[in-house]
A and B are shown apart, each in its own frame.
Chain A
Amino acid sequence: MRAPAIIEAKAVSKWYGQFHALKDINLTVRKGERIVICGPSGSGKSTLIRCFNRLEAHQVGDIVINGVALHGKMTNAAVRSNVGMVFQHFNLFPHMTVLMNCMAGPMWVKGVSAANARKTALRFLERVRIPEQANKFPIQLSGGQQQRVAIARSLCMEPAVMLFDEPTSALDPEMVSEVLETMTGLARDGITMVCVTHEMGFARAVADRVIFMDAGQIVEEGTPDEFFSRPRHDRTKLFLSQILKH
């Protein structure tokens, strides 16, 4: 039997005013799957994954997250607490300690007791390998450490799926690998993840499927092996040649 679908997008379209940002997107992400989305700038990658936790609203088509259909009149909070999101610029809460950043979600949304939230937080900080920074404020950490805290913060909600929007592209080169290692660790633990990234080494190593987007459409979709060795579309070939040149 196949694993249950966590994300199901059917014929999704989205417009920003007149601009057609997502065109007829069909995508199913099953439990435990690791998806990497790539594509040129402005192709709608961020827009797509932001639709999955309703930071953006789609206008046409259906998105079902963990059995709940997203639409305009729902309360978004319930869906969002089930979908973890990691941003390019970390977006940690700067006025709270690292530990509190991680405890806040479980305490305020799920009503977990402070003691238990603390335990969970420390467990996940351990997992991203920075428990010793727990009582610092985010600004006292390096970029890579901040991003790992952001990952831990999302994990603390124990979401059904983790979304990553270019988690390493705001980092200095030497910090990229520590974040990628953390993410590889999560992938190994079987966490469902959808990851927008241009780190092709990461895609090759962990992705079950790579999705290539251009101009608001999914152009190509396949296993890393197919995708990198035998790209079918010219646009994919062009993109790969540009990104792998360096």
Chain B
Amino acid sequence: MLYPDTVEAEILVHKPWFVATMFGVVLLLFMAFNMSGTSFAELMRPVIGEPSVSGLYGRFAIAFAIAVIFTLNVVLIGFAPLKFQIGIVWLELLLLFIAFFETFHLSLPFIREKLPFLISQGVVTTLYVSAISIVIASVIAVAGAVAKLSNNGFAFAIASFYTSFFRGLPLLMQVYLIYLGLPQLGFVINAVPAGILALSLCYGAYMTEIFRSGIQSIDRGQWEASRSMGFGFALTMRRIILPQALPVIIPPTGNQFISMLKDSSLVSVIGVWELMFLARTLGQKTFQHMEMLISAAMIYWMLSICLELIQSRIERHYHRSKVR
């Protein structure tokens, strides 16, 4: 949270000018759209008569009703305590989202039929490919960061060449390069290991930079204190520097993890049966693309939410030593 000032602010959404402005904007916005064909207009039939012939009056009445509901909703939420506010707003946004998907007229039985396979094959593959890649990428990142901070010319050159190369190429191209390029050198590599290798190397390069800046953020005095206790380099790094760098490293690393989870879909191009691959192929036969794509999208989202929750837990853990 931002560090709040002690001034007790009036609640913004209860200020008359704000409520009036909000009302006006929503009213105008919905006047601009012709809502007379929607199911909301059907609900208004007792007031406006046949929606399609209600004309300007109908439009106005519909927009007015929406504006009233919207404004009332916001003002009421303003009274709730913070936790409820967050919960309610999340829920409402979610409902709007579902309402949006409703308009696609998705075939639920089809989804229900394919979902088990989508999860047992697709999600499992996605998860283990990204989990292994994340672990390898983190190891690369620590090594890369140390190399980039060392005054060993070879280590620095190799590490900076590596980060420059793998950050500079599109991930998709790296996947192809590794899958199609390594066999040229005589290493025949399966699709799954090739995918894992590409993801690890690419994300290792990004995370090297994150780890490097995290390590650099630690005060010189910590190194000196640790050395003066007789701790060697490895011990200093593992027990003193990295644990303190973690609070700096974790938020951007959490980002990387989430992004990696979704970028693992790129390995579908070399035929790994992960979530994205199945989402594209399962719906193909019956032209039910949307069903599978939206299911996969929801699954990706849910997995990301899990990662977000894990991240916030870890952040809270490291917050302990910072509060007075």
Tell me the A residues contacting B by CB distance below 8 Å: 53, 55, 75-78, 80-85, 87, 89, 91-96, 104-105, 108-109, 137-140, 153-154, 157
Contact = CB atoms under 8 A, between A and B. Distances in A.
B320 interface: yes
B76 interface: no
Given A55-B224, A91-B221, A77 B321 contact: no
Most-contacted residue by chain A among B222, B224, B227, B230 (CB, 10 A): B230
Given A91-B219, A96-B321, A139-B324, 10 more contacts: A53-B227, A75-B232, A80-B229, A85-B228, A87-B221, A87-B224, A89-B221, A109-B229, A109-B231, A139-B322
Contacts of A109: 229-231, 235
Nearest to B240: A93
A95 B247 CA distance: 10
Contact of A80 (B219, B228, B239, B244): B228
Contacts of A78: 230
Most-contacted residue by chain A among B222, B229, B239, B320 (CB, 10 A): B229
Contacts of A85: 224-225, 228
B243 interface: yes
A199 B323 CA distance: 33
Given A104-B239, A108-B239, A137-B320, A91 B229 contact: no
A87 B227 CA distance: 12
B227 A80 contact: yes
Nearest to A80: B230
A105 B230 contact: yes
Contacts of A157: 229-230
Contacts of B239: 104, 108
Contact of A104 (B219, B221, B227, B229): B229
A104 B228 CA distance: 12
B321 A81 contact: no
Interface string B42-67: 00000000000000000000000000
Size class of the contact patch on chain B: 20 to 34
B228 A77 contact: no
B221 A94 contact: no
8 contacts: A77-B231, A77-B232, A95-B321, A96-B321, A108-B235, A109-B231, A139-B323, A140-B324
Given A93-B222, A104-B239, A108-B239, A83 B228 contact: yes
Nearest to A110: B230
Nearest to B233: A77
Contacts of B230: 77-78, 80-82, 105, 109, 157
A11 B266 CA distance: 66
A213 B278 CA distance: 76
Contacts of B318: 95
Contacts of A94: 244, 321-322
A91 B321 contact: no
Interface in B208-239: 219, 221-222, 224-232, 235, 239
Contacts of B322: 94, 139
Contacts of B229: 80-81, 104-105, 109, 153-154, 157
B236 to A, nearest CB: 10
A93 B244 CA distance: 9
Contact of A91 (B225, B231, B320, B323): B225
B232 A91 contact: no
A77 B233 CA distance: 9
A77 to B, nearest CB: 5
Contact of A139 (B219, B231, B244, B321): B321
Contact of B225 (A76, A77, A81, A93): A93
